[in-house]
Amino acid sequence: MQNQRIISCERPAHDHVERCGYLFGWPINHSMSPLMHKTIFGEIGLNWEQFFLPSTDMSMFLSLVREDKFLGASVTMPHKVAIMKHVDELTQEGREVGAVNTLYLRKHGDKRILVGTNTDVIGIREAFYQNISNPDEVFHGRPGMVVGGGGAARSAVYALKKFMKCSKVYVVNRDKAEVDAVVSWCTEQGYGDGVIHTATVEQAEELEGPGAIVSCVPDFPPVTEAEQTARKVLEIFLGKPHKGAILEMCYHPNPHTEIAEISKNAGWNVILGTEAMIYQGLEQSMYWTGKTLDQLPVAKVKEVIAAQLAKGH
The answer to whether position 293 is within a domain reads no
Q: Pick from 94, 118, 142: which residue ends a domain? A: 118
Active-site position among 80, 85, 243, 302: 80
Angle, helices 33-43 vs 273-289, to 10°: value is 50
Categorize the per-residue pLDDT at 8 as very low, low, confident or very high, splitting at 50, 70 and 90.
confident
Task: Tell me 160's DSSP state.
Answer: I
Mean of all residue pLDDT scores within the chain = 95
Contact 304, 39 (CB under 8 A): yes
* 54 and 79 share one domain: yes
CATH of the domain at 225: 3.40.50.720
Same domain, 126 and 264: yes
Whether 243 sits among the annotated catalytic residues: the reply is no
In terms of domains, do 80 and 209 share one? no
Q: Among residues 103, 118, 133, which one ends one of the domains?
A: 118
Distance of alpha carbon 75 from alpha carbon 117, whole angstroms = 10
Confidence tier at 3 by pLDDT (50, 70, 90): low
Residues 56 and 136 in one domain: no
Calculate helix-pair angle for 258-265, 225-238, nearest 10 degrees.
30
Confidence of residue 219 (pLDDT cuts 50, 70, 90): very high
Domain span at residue 192?
A: 122-273
pLDDT at 255: 81
| CATH number of the CATH domain containing 25 | 3.40.50.10860
Asked, for residue 307, whether it belongs to a domain, the answer is no
Residue type, 255: P
**Residue 142 falls within a domain, yes or no?**
yes
